[in-house]
């Protein structure tokens, strides 16, 4: 085997565990320690739809250059799950390292001659130190953390600091954890030369970034946006949005004097009820939202149409997972784009926001509430499992104390008193196709109206007359035009256009796309890039497409759904749009993008 | 098409305590079939709201889809209304109630709307003791889709087309009792003297108040052999008691014999007076109510009146521990934790 060249701060470490064994928190502490050393990290949890006993992986990409997408090729793998030993060993790149529990012998059939083996007697060490099987299991995790930290030259003081913070509320556990850590450290020091040539080294590359998952940021965004009613039904990968909302509400939204809550948090009987509750609450003047994933959105479709047609603001956080049907509930995809954009029967369309970082999850959740209230319609925040459930290095969450909620056109009792003409719930008074609404209980005799999903006139009266129906739905189409002026603008990655090829992407594809730009540029391939942040498409998106002969749309589904949306909404010639697709359930990589683009170039361009 | 009624008030029409005449509680003219039971129930709602001097904007009326669910347009034009989607009125009402605990929520549904497509939401609203009045206008069929049997159609009941129903009927009041709903009663659209006070009492009840009101469909289910026809109901009706509702601060007018009468005080000080009680039934004892209902059924009777009331229930807001002020009145200053707090939160993720 060739000697490993020195490789600093550019590696992928993977932990292979059995789920339900407490490994997640040990692995997270390991990732956080490297982050604390000022080096960008991207951890990813690869887990099964199961509670205990199945394989789970935790992968950390460490990249001094700040590449936050997934990268294929594993430099060091800690394999403590006998069920998948073969697979794990095979997944290590040639020349890489396999760290295993040497309490049991590794049989010859598992020996590859092109990788390095490092045996640490993890469970034997744990059994020598702890009585109960549960503790042995838990501390075994910390033992391997100590060993790998030593091998990769992670600063032990930093690991200890992270452990101390983790157990700040249970200080009795700190010492035993340190002890376990030391067992792992010693096991390496006594038997192997360390650190390895693959290693980390302190840098100052993370600035004021935070390490947070998108769902937590969405939950916090909803609190900052003033949501008071949250209704939901458990489903992976959106559950932790609800959990974050509740956890932080308990800290931030309880009246200190009375102990009473300034929020209502309801686990509904299903997703139909969840969105029904949200519609009822916003109809009645509270900011309210729900969070769900694939199957849940499918169930909500009837109500989504009601909110569109009756013009009731709704915020829906849609954390996509692998479909169709129950699909791959714990894997990631961007495959609910068409079904979200045009959800429900009849002519319907809904604004969508596409955050790509946790900071944007926060910002766009707040934006979603303002947009929903301003446009009086349902707004979906489209996240995915990768963004929602994995920690990401992200700019800090930002709040401007001068910002005022945009609650849209709501009439007060005084407004109603002063009105000269009779109130018409669906009258376009201002010419922007957005009518005024009233909240129940506002005025004893003025402003009441009847909300309905049936066809209605400007005064909310039932009508099946063709002309009345047309006036209403054509106004809704005009409101869509208003929406285009209010949604976030796209982001560009060049000062001015340099190429007649444009790459277009959105959401979590961003990390890999940005890395791909560098990879392509290194080979002399220059293209322009645009990141779309919202549907309907902003005029700048249309302009970018117009200015490029060929557009490459990068997305994570089989059917190129985003490409279809572009073609459909802008009446584009399909020939002009090529696709880069990734839909195996793992986050897209820069190499995938690069190689698919190169293939396109060889053929079409 | 809806028609607006001429707003002509006869000068002699008496104003109630809050200054409204009865017509102020009416809605647009009904487009239901002449003689439809649902219209009588709408009338009873108008009467009840007028008599308790409710300010119309203190109430929100909500419904699902069906002939029955159309009725909210036919009463209380000065109240906000919401005709939602089929079977989902309870969730809309739950959200609305969470946003503002101060309004009265009147939900109207049909037997199809509740006992089939909306069964899930119905039982969960009971489970949460949502503070609302839930009226099912029960005609044993799907009126709006032209008369198919509903899940409340009794076993053996004969449809207009002549076939007898092979399935067990779902007794919604019995089910509500079983699920521990905190106010359960049954009435008949043709018995205003009972229905009006029952609606008033249901509105005063600070929890889930369920009224199953038998409401014949004259067009599709009023034929011979139907157990939901006017004549069948009239011939088999049996009342739990004579029911009267006395609002807060009003004196009881009639004295009844001790032993066969009972007086219950509600949370807001109003009273329910029951007389001619059946022996072995106590409206505050759920088991006796269940027995009374089963007994009546075994005798082929349709039992109406109040079945059960729990005067000390905790509603959903109580269970969740929400603040006294309605959530929809909380302003940004109270709701948004601000940038300093967010900095602390950021720091916890470094
Ligand atoms: C999802 C859905 N399925 C079916 C219908 C058609 N539909 C309208 S009303 C109704 C039944 C109404 O029956 P019920 O609730 O008993 O009301 P009634 O008309 O008898 O008063 C049905 C099936 C619908 N509106 N929505
Ligand atoms: S069809 Fe039946 S339920 Fe519907 S309006 Fe006519 S009588 Fe009433
Ligand atoms: Mg019916």
Strands A198-199 and A7-8, by their bridges, are: parallel
* Chain B interface includes A224 (CB < 8 A): yes
Distance CA A28, CA B349 (A): 12
Q: Is the CB of B67 under 6 A from ligand 1?
A: yes
Q: CB contact, 8 Å: B60 with chain A?
A: yes
Q: What is the reported pTM?
A: 0.96
Q: Which range has the worst mean pLDDT, A18-32, A134-148, B244-258?
A: B244-258
**Cβ neighbours around A111 below 10 Å, total:** 11
Architecture of domain A212-394: 3-Layer(aba) Sandwich (3.40)
Would you say A441 and B55 are in contact if contact means Cβ atoms under 8 Å apart? no
Bridge partner residues of A424 (DSSP): none
The alpha-carbon gap from A248 to the nearest alpha carbon of chain B, in Å, equals 10
Distance, in Å, from the CA atom of B148 to the CA atom of B141, rounded to the nearest integer, reads: 6
Q: Which pLDDT value is given to residue A48? A: 83
pLDDT of residue A604: 62
Domain(s) of CATH 3.40.50.970: residues in chain A:
212-394
Q: Is A2's pLDDT higher than 50?
A: yes
pLDDT value for B248: 81
Q: At the fourth CATH level, which superfamily is domain A7-199?
A: Pyruvate-ferredoxin oxidoreductase, PFOR, domain III (3.40.920.10)
Q: How high is the mean pLDDT of chain B? A: 93
> What pLDDT score was predicted for residue B2?
47
pLDDT value for B249 = 74
pLDDT digits (tens, 9 = 90+) for A242-273: 999 999 999 999 999 999 999 999 999 999 99
Cis amide prior to B11 (ω within 30 degrees): no
Q: Looking at residues A197-208, what average pLDDT do you find?
A: 98
CATH class of A491-602: alpha beta
Residue-wise burial string across B289-320, b where 16 or more C-beta atoms lie within 10 A, e elsewhere: beebbeebeeeeebbbbbbbbbbebebbbeee
ipTM score: 0.96
| Direct distance between the N- and C-terminal alpha carbons of chain A, in angstroms, rounded to an integer | 42
How do residues B259-314 score in pLDDT, each as one tens digit?
678 889 998 899 998 887 887 899 999 999 999 999 999 999 999 999 999 999 99
Q: What value does the mean pLDDT of chain A take?
A: 96
Yes or no, beta carbons of B57 and A302 under 8 Å apart: no
Chain A touched by B19 (CB under 8 Å): no
Q: Which residues numbered 480-519 in A keep a CB inside 8 Å of some CB on B?
A: none
* Ligand 2 atom closest to the CA of B32, numbered from 1: 5
Reported as a single tens digit per residue, the pLDDT across B176-208 is 999 999 999 999 999 999 999 999 999 999 999
Interface test with A, best of B60, B74, B335, B339 (most A CBs within 10 A): B335
Inform me whether the C-beta atom of residue B82 falls under 8 Å from chain A C-beta atoms. Answer: yes
pLDDT higher for B4 or A54? A54
Domain with CATH 3.40.50.920 in chain A: 491-602
Distance CA B68, CA A132 (A): 64
**Token digits of residue A115:** 């990788």
Nearest CA in chain B to A407: B332
Can you give the pLDDT at residue A468? Answer: 98
Q: Which of the residues A276, A357, A410, A457 would you substitute to probe the B interface, choosing the one with the greatest number of B C-beta atoms within 10 Å? A: A276
Chain B residue numbers with beta carbons less than 8 Å from the beta carbon of A283 are 82, 92, 95-96, 99
Q: How far apart are CA A476 and CA A378, in angstroms?
A: 13
The pLDDT value recorded for residue B1 is: 42
Q: How many other CB atoms are there within 10 angstroms of residue B322's CB atom?
A: 22
Angle between the A122-129 and A174-191 helix axes, to the nearest 10 degrees?
140
3-state secondary structure of A346: coil
Say whether residue B253 is in contact with chain A using an 8 A CB cutoff: no
pLDDT 10s digits, A304-327:
999 999 999 999 999 999 999 999
A286 contacts on B by Cβ (under 8 Å): 98-100, 327-328
Average pLDDT (A279-283) is 98
List of domains in chain B: 22-329 (3.40.50.970)
B68 to A348, B166, B188: CA distances (angstroms): 28, 25, 14
Q: Which of B33, B145, B215 to mutate for ligand 1's pocket (most ligand atoms within 8 Å of CB)?
A: B145
CB of B80 within 8 Å of a chain A CB? The answer is yes
Nearest to A284 by CA among B276, B105, B129: B105
Q: How far apart are CA A362 and CA B128, in angstroms?
A: 32
pLDDT of residue B129: 98
């Amino acid at each position: 085997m060739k000697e490993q060249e020195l490789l600093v701060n550019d590696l992928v470490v993977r932990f292979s565990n059995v789920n339900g064994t407490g490994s997640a928190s040990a692995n997270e502490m390991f990732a956080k320690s490297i982050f604390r050393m000022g080096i960008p990290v991207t951890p990813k949890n690869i887990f099964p739809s199961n509670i205990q006993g199945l394989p789970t992986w935790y992968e950390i990409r460490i990249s001094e250059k700040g590449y936050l997408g997934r990268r294929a090729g594993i430099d060091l793998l800690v394999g403590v799950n006998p069920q998948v030993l073969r697979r794990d060993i095979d997944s290590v790149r040639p020349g890489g390292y396999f760290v295993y529990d040497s309490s049991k012998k590794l049989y010859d059939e598992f020996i590859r001659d092109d990788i390095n083996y490092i045996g640490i007697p993890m469970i034997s060490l744990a059994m020598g130190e702890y009585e109960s099987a549960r503790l042995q299991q838990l501390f075994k995790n910390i033992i391997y953390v100590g060993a790998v930290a030593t091998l990769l030259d992670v600063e032990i003081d930093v690991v200890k600091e992270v452990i101390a913070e983790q157990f700040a509320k249970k200080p009795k556990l700190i010492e035993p954890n340190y002890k376990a850590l030391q067992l792992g450290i010693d096991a390496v020091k006594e038997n192997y030369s360390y650190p390895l040539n693959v290693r980390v080294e302190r840098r100052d590359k993370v600035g004021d970034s935070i390490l947070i998952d998108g769902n937590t940021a969405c939950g916090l965004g909803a609190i900052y946006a003033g949501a008071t009613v949250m209704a939901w039904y458990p489903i992976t990968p959106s559950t932790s949005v609800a959990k974050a909302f509740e956890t932080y509400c308990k800290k931030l939204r309880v009246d200190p004097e009375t102990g009473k809550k300034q929020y209502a948090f309801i686990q509904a009987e299903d997703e139909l009820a969840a969105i029904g509750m949200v519609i009822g609450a916003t109809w009645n003047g509270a900011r309210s939202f729900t969070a769900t994933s694939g199957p849940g959105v499918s169930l909500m479709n009837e109500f989504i149409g009601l909110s569109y047609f009756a013009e009731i603001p709704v915020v829906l956080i849609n954390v996509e997972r692998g479909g169709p049907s129950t699909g791959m509930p714990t894997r990631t995809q961007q495959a609910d784009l068409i079904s979200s954009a045009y959800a429900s029967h009849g002519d319907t369309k809904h604004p969508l926001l596409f955050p790509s970082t946790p900071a944007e999850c926060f910002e766009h959740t707040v934006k979603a509430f303002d947009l929903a209230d301003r446009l009086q319609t349902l707004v979906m925040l489209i996240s995915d499992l990768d963004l929602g459930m994995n920690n990401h290095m992200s700019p800090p969450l930002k709040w401007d104390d001068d910002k005022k909620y945009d609650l849209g056109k709501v009439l007060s009792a005084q407004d109603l008193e002063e009105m000269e003409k009779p109130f018409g719930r669906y009258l376009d008074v201002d010419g922007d196709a957005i009518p005024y609404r009233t909240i129940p209980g506002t005025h004893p005799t003025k402003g009441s109206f009847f909300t309905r999903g049936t066809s209605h006139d400007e005064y909310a009266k039932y009508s099946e007359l063709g002309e009345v129906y047309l006036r209403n739905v054509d106004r809704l189409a005009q409101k869509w035009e208003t929406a285009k002026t209010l949604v976030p603008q796209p982001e560009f990655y060049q000062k001015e256009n340099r190429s007649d090829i444009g790459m277009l992407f959105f959401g979590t594809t961003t990390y890999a796309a940005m890395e791909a730009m560098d990879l392509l540029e290194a080979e002399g391939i220059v293209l322009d890039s645009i990141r779309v942040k919202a549907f309907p498409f902003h005029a700048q998106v249309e302009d970018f497409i117009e200015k490029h002969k060929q557009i490459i749309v990068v997305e994570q589904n089989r059917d190129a759904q985003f490409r279809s949306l572009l073609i459909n909404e802008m009446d584009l010639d399909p020939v002009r749009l090529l696709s880069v697709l990734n839909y195996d359930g793992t986050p897209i990589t820069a190499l995938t993008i690069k190689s698919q683009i190169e293939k396109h170039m060889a053929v079409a361009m | 098409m809806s028609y607006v009624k001429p707003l002509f008030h006869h000068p002699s029409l008496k104003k109630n305590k809050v200054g409204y005449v009865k017509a102020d509680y009416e809605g647009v003219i009904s487009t239901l079939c002449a003689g439809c039971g649902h219209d009588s129930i709408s009338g009873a709602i108008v009467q009840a709201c007028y008599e308790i001097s409710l300010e119309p904007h203190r109430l929100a009326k909500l419904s699902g889809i069906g002939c029955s669910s159309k009725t909210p347009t036919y009463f209380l034009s000065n109240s906000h209304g919401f005709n939602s989607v089929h079977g989902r009125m309870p969730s809309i009402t739950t959200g609305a109630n969470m946003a503002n605990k101060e309004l009265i929520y009147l939900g109207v549904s049909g037997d199809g709307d509740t006992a089939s497509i909306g069964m899930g939401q119905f039982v969960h609203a009971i489970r949460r003791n949502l503070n609302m009045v839930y009226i099912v206008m029960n005609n044993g069929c799907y009126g709006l889709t032209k008369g198919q049997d509903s899940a409340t159609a009794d076993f053996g009941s004969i449809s207009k087309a002549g076939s007898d129903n092979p399935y067990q009927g779902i007794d919604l009041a019995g089910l509500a009792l079983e699920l521990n709903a905190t106010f359960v009663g049954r009435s008949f659209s043709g018995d205003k003297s009972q229905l009006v006070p029952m609606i008033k009492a249901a509105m005063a009840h600070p929890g889930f108040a369920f009224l199953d009101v038998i409401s014949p469909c004259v067009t599709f289910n009023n034929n011979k052999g139907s157990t939901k026809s006017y004549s069948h109901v009239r011939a088999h009706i049996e009342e739990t008691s004579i029911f009267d509702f006395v609002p807060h601060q009003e004196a009881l007018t009639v004295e009844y014999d001790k032993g066969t009468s009972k007086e219950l005080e509600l949370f807001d000080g109003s009273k329910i007076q029951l007389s001619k009680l059946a022996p072995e039934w106590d409206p505050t004892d759920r088991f006796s109510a269940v027995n009374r209902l089963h007994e009546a059924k075994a005798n082929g009777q349709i039992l109406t009146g109040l079945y059960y009331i729990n005067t000390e229930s905790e509603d959903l807001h109580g269970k969740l521990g929400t603040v006294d002020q309605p959530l929809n009145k909380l302003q940004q200053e109270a709701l948004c934790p601000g940038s300093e707090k967010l900095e602390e939160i950021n720091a916890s993720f470094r």
